[in-house]
Structure 1
Amino acid sequence: MTGPPAPIWPRCSFVAQAAGDPLEGSAPPADRWFLIEHPGPWGRGGLTDSGLDPGVVAALSQWATAWSARLVLVRRPERAARNGTTRRWFRVDSRPGHESIRTGEFTADAELPAAARSTGEIAEGPLNLVCAHGRHDTCCAVRGRPVAAALAASAPGSTWECSHVGGCRFAPAVVLLPHGYLLGGVPVADAVEAVRHYRAGNLDPRWLRGRTSLPPAAQAAQHHARAVTGKTGIDALRVLGLEPDGAEGWRVELAEPACTVLLRERWVDTGRPLTCAATAPGRMRVFDLAELHRSTKDT
């Protein structure tokens, strides 16, 4: 006898948005990024399932582990026909105070491990990545591709579709490089405006998941401090210190303006899968604001 049919779950990002899943503190860890132009097709596993040489993937993965980097495939949203076989790579440093983008070209996958360690050339201007990895999660394609197309039209040459970056239920996901700020659930028109704000040195907190080079608790602390102080500059609320505060708490010291943020971390059973591909209910991490103190000496 067969068992009862598996439940049919709605698309993860629409459910998460309706439920009000908190964005803050959900940006995946990455001090650096290595972007590889790859027109596709992309398999579900990204680098490991898209036709790249396994030895090259292993070498890049070893480099990424050593440097706390994230490896992603990128392609132009317009899918324009390419001349020849030359493709681009980008190496991005997203650490506070070290923000930079380097780039170069390659014609064979075997060149990529050396490219990840090379100097490369300085790339002009910020880059926008939009997750459109439909084979990893349907929401990323359905909601990401319209955003990528709109950003490509408003900021030609600086927008790329990318493979999985994490947190599919927050699709569409937009990565603002070089700083590594991650936006989630942002509508098309707001995404265009958010990129304009970023290029002007500011952030739109409504869609901000956090900065990938910061621990989740620090991301959440900045979120709560932005809400209280109104500071939205890309370099505002610099993290000075992060330490545990009791069994489930965090104490985060911020500067410019000076703040002390106390958080309580908890895990919530959602009663639903957190991705379109998942088959079982998941848990999500939440950071509640316990206290926030602004320094009276801050100027």
Structure 2
Amino acid sequence: MEDLDFRCSVASSDDGEPMAGTAPTDAAFLLVEHAGSWGRQAVAESRMPEGVRAHLGSLSGVRVQLIRRHGGGDDDGVRVFHAVADTGGFAVRTTVLARVEDLLDLDLERDLVEHDGLLWLVCTNGRRDRCCAELGRPITAALADRWPHETWETTHLGGHRFAGTLLALPSGQTLGRLTPDNAVAACAEVSAGGVPLGLSRGRAGRGGAEQVRELHVLAGGRPDVEVREVVGPPRRQSCGDLPAKPSSTWRVVV
């Protein structure tokens, strides 16, 4: 029987599980505005038309996530962002569709324009994990007070046990263990070009070892170090995962 009192983020924080190297490694994201309810498998279980769900599910080489404004949509169309990893983070392009069915004819190479602003993407999908909803929504509210147009809820960033979690674009910085009290200051640091090292999971779009090496250098270490993946203790990976599963962490070898 599921333990409704268990919180994976509390367990992870209490035993000091390292976050470095746990940012998403995906090199491309497609973010689609959808204010409806989100299931555990957000796209497949959404209320979008069946043809749109099938189309999004068939895309290769891109991670599809749903996004929505905190507090609801603006009823001004369907905002779409396409983010592709580059040497400095991600190149982000965007468009607004009149209706979600227009995704079927959208050409990601030709139909979008450059987006030169910030995006704060906070995981809030409670159907996927309780911690993401309970911690993510208050964080989104705090960020939306400061950045109303830049702040979005999203469906899944991985690492539920590091909730609240956030992906910052275009930098790709992925933050964890955020709270309503530290999120605004952390994002302000990212927007100024910095990295809040104590809250960083790494830069998305890179492999785990590269993420850890970059954080090591930012903390004052040498770049010419070996980074090894090592076996960690079994952990429950999310609130709903009853059995503990093998885990791994990254270690800098000086």
In structure 1, list runs of 5 or more residues that go unmatched.
230-257, 292-299
Aligned equivalents of 1:14, 1:98: Cα separation in 2:
30
For the 8 Å contact 1:91–1:116, the answer to whether it is kept is no
Aligned to 2:71: 78
Query: What are the residue-to-residue correspondences of 1:50-89 with 2, within 5 Å?
Result: 50-63=46-59, 65=60, 67=61, 69-79=62-72, 82-83=74-75, 86-89=77-80
Question: CA offsets per residue over residues 141-168 of structure 1, 9 Å max, x none?
Answer: 0000111011111112100011011111
Task: Kindly tell me the number of residue pairs found equivalent between the two proteins.
Answer: 253
Aligned residue type for 1:265: E
Choose the corresponding residue for 1:36, options 16, 26, 32: 32
CA RMSD of aligned residues (A): 2.0
Alignment gaps of 5+ in structure 2 = none
Distance 2:124 2:210 in 1: 27
Q: State the one-letter code of the partner of 2:123.
A: C
- Alpha-carbon distance between aligned partners in 1 of 2:2 and 2:154, rounded to the nearest angstrom: 31
> Which residue, 243, 247, 250 being the options, matches 1:284?
247
Distance in 2 separating the partners of 1:152 and 1:122: 23
Deviation track 1:224-260 (CA, whole Å, cap 9, x = no partner) reads: 222234xxxxxxxxxxxxxxxxxxxxxxxxxxxx720
Q: Distance in 2 between matches of 1:172 and 1:98?
A: 21
Q: Is the 8 A contact 2:33 2:79 kept in 1?
A: yes
Q: Which of these residues, 85, 88, 107, is aligned with residue 98 of structure 2?
A: 107
Contact 2:70/2:152, CA 8 A, preserved across alignment = yes
Question: Which residue number in structure 2 is paired with residue 235 of structure 1?
Answer: none
Alpha-carbon spacing, 1:132–1:98, altered in 2? closer, same or farther (3 Å): closer
Shift of 1:87: 1.8
- Cα deviation for residue 288 of structure 1 reads 1.4
Give TM-score, length-normalised by structure 1.
0.78
Give the equivalent residue in structure 2 for 1:135.
127
Structure 2 residue identity aligned to 1:200 = A
What's the secondary structure of 2:210's corresponding residue?
helix
Instruction: Give the superposition deviation at 1:97.
Output: 4.0
Counterpart CA distance in 2 for 1:24 and 1:160 is 24
- Which structure is higher in RCO with an 8 Å CA cutoff and minimum separation 6? 2
Structure ID, larger Rg: 1
The residue aligned with 2:82 is: 91
**Could you state the TM-score of these two structures normalised by the residue count of structure 2?**
0.91
Matched, 1:208 2:200: yes
SS in 2 for 1:73: strand
